[in-house]
Amino acid sequence: MQLHRYWSSAYSQCKIKSQCTPSGERRISRWKHESVLEAVQRRLDKTPDAMTVRRRTVEHVFGTFKHWMGYTHFLTRRLPNVGTEMSLNVLAYNLMRVLRILGFRKTMKEMLLAGA
C-alpha cells in the first residue's frame, strides 16, 4: 500500500491548532487512491438508499456463493484460477435461477433450440 505523508513545521502558527493536536507539527497520511474513496463516499451521500438497493440485489448473490463454498475462502490460488472459480460460481447461480424461473423442461427445450 502506497501512502503519501505530509507535514509542516508552520503548524505551530495554525489558528485552529487547539482543535487538532498538542504536538509541534501535524502529520497527515493519505492513501495513494484516497480520492477514489472520497468520490465513492460523496456519491453515497447523494443517494443514501443506494446501499439498501445493493443489499437487496447483490449481497444475496454473494451470500449464496459463500454458502455454496462452505462459508470459507476460494479453493484455488492465483488470480486467473480464482477468476475461473468465481465464473463457475456465477454460471451455476445463473443456471439455478433459470431453472427456478422457467422450470427444467422449458430450460432444456430452449437449450436444445439454441443448439447447446
Q: Is the pTM of this model over 0.75?
A: no
* Beta strand spans in the chain (E): 3-8, 26-31
**How far from 29 is each of 2, 34, 36, 38, 83, CA to CA, in Å?**
10, 10, 15, 15, 33
The tens-digit pLDDT sequence of the chain (116 residues) is 788 887 777 767 777 777 777 777 778 888 889 999 999 999 989 998 888 888 888 888 888 888 887 777 888 999 999 999 989 988 988 999 999 999 999 999 999 999 87
Domain residue ranges in the chain: 3-36, 49-114
For 111, the enclosing helix (H) or strand (E) is helix 104-114
